[in-house]
Amino acid sequence: MILKAIDLSLMSEHLMTHKGVLKKLAYYYCSVKNPLLKQTIYEQFLIMRNHVHVMLKLMDPEHNEDVSVLALNQIELVDIPCPEPILRLGDKNILLEVHNTAKSMALDNFNSALKMKAPNVKSIHVQMALQQVQLEERYSELGEKVGLNQSPDTSAEEQISTIKQFEHLFHI
């Protein structure tokens, strides 16, 4: 199938982004000490590497109609070589960064899917976004465990006050 220019353009842009993100994830993987964080970074690396392979297949006019995103348990494992990192950023800083990376990649994939024309290309990018959302949730959970609560709780009073403001605004 011949793709629309927008589909090819967005995937080309994604591939360039993936190149940088994969390098960064490999560096972070080699830098962190927390085993849960290390495992989640590794899984994000595998998922994004699979996304590269999927997008390259989607670009191929001879083979782009029966392409799918692999689930994490179907992706071939790879070694990430770890030269001694020069700079240690610390697990908490890396956790904040990879959390943001997963959220950013999810948004990028969702936004691109909305612009894409080929149904299978669009669907695959939604699936890619959902994989990144799952990673973002895991990073959030890990952040909670290590004291990086990114979403403070409110009180019942604050919630009721907010409801009343909107009820007034909408004349309810």
What's the CA gap between 23 and 26, in Å, rounded?
Answer: 5
CA–CA dist 172, 169 (Å, integer)? 8
Give DSSP secondary structure letters for 70-125.
Answer: PPGGGSPP-----PPPS----HHHHHHHHHHHHHHHHHHHHHHHHH--SHHHHHHH
Half-sphere exposure of 9 (CA within 13 A, CB side): 7
pLDDT tens string 44-99: 999 999 999 999 999 999 988 888 888 878 888 999 998 876 677 889 999 999 99
Summarised one tens digit per residue, pLDDT across range 101-134 is 999 999 999 999 999 999 999 999 999 999 999 9
Q: What is the mean pLDDT of the chain?
A: 90
